[in-house]
Structure 1
């Protein structure tokens, strides 16, 4: 069910656009970045199998690739025990890994990315003029950018938070990187990448910029960021990259091919829909977005299955808001309203369901109730998928009958 994809911060539609540039240098850099990424996909499944052995009390290590693509030859540049580096990129990654680790630990009581103290390894100065940063299942890797369009990819904390959150998703829900579950995978990384930055800056939902990658564009680029959770489709609009294609409503969902060129069904594009939903919830509730909104999203992620789609996740967030804050609470109303505004319908049967009450006695009972809720949530997600599949089958049959009559 899972593809051998590395999770990159720069979506392929931007790099493919650069391949068509009038400038030879930009075309060559974009092509080299795409080719390197494709080659890495063949290695990811092998590297991801090493994750379980990558344990170590969530300690950080940063390596310097020295412009090579051979990670095994990278030298250790900074560790928990060692001093700061004279290289600013190394220090930024070290600090970013720590900020993300501390965010999950302090806010959601999660012990590192996998919940079991996984070591956090970062690799800087990967390749030459490499226009991307990625999580490969075991570690984070950063390119230096080409200096014309993209600057150093270590310069954006939300990018670091985004990529490490792919590891959180991978070791919890395991959302399959295709179509809606894949777009949800990307959206979760955008949401928590933004929350890492907001938490580090002590920003309220109202004060945050809700942008991903605002610090990796060079001054020459007329654009705010790679993506905007506040207003999907508005992050950039220029002759080089074109216009941000993200939709903010299901009526504009882009049903792209489930291929590498189609970004596995548009996972980086359609993520704008759940991104907008989270932004609406956060600003409706107000205050710090990592609190009630983030808690609802985090617990819903933990209760998700690999094939959870937008509707399934929306229903999980509705139920989690009930469990955590009460039936008809402001938080639950905000969740329902947000999904409705982006065109994702919560099934009436779910809206009427009563979730298990919050535990009042003992940790053992708390765990049993959490397990019970998670099982119920997975059943609802599976039921929603079955209903969607049946609907597609019925619509297909109708289309065939119409074609036959014509």
Structure 2
């Protein structure tokens, strides 16, 4: 039997390659235009792509580790807030999930939770979040409230060798717990709208969230009523053991970056082992593999386009690069599907060119090859991914005081 996958797309500026904005097909004057993001996400929506992630960061240089990143003049700088862009896109799209990136270190968990709940209402159940733990020195300087935190990766490259990174992932775990608990604080039927008795809501169905954690405390209920999905979809990118454990414990979907199908098999085994140790959710963690793609009609044209980008500004990427034809991209996806991957998140090297190629060439080929899950018309993002809608954990507890 052919293994089937879901397809998602990750959107970043003019594309994931830093020189993409210089391509003739690019729209660099429109990167802060709402219409630009509308056009991109509608193209993905029309193609049946399950969800789109929107990149974000809290400093000018984004997530780059380069010391001169903020002052380089050959890279795109400046971006729109991902949660606000997703909220703008919600009524302009039909089926596609909207998954903005949120950093857990500086924003208040309560604000993150209410923003995501609002997005879920605005999209009628298509909201998610890509959780980013930790912060850079420049991000901390932008907020000015804390000096502690990671300073690059340790020499070993292992997160567990740096107490600051381990603390950042513990904090991210607390934030995700707060997001989920606040989403649960209103029961589904808390609003009764009984005009005759003058009761708009049933106070017994709104519950205090009492969190006293290592990094923050919350006492109270959300200001946003329970949203269509119950809880937003939680996703995270992970490359090694500590992030794998974080995703296994807290996420619904984890994005991984295998070098090939054999590496994907090894990563799935490591993620599964982490889930056996720490995961309390009965639903298995979904594993999506990231591929950075550039698609042309011939392999020679793809190589020429990639080489042109690299000559202008070489890329440093964590994801496997597939610069080739749509058929070769499909072959890569097939191999990952056979290795046991649940889904693929494609990172278009150039926008809009490679997104349009994914929508118009890659997705139809995947469907024709029987590699895609059938779209049965499920309205919410969780349902499209085969995930159940969580019940409120507070439904049988005592009430809001």
The TM-score normalised by the length of structure 2 is 0.30
Larger fraction in helix: 1
The TM-score normalised by the length of structure 1 is 0.29
Larger fraction in strand: 2
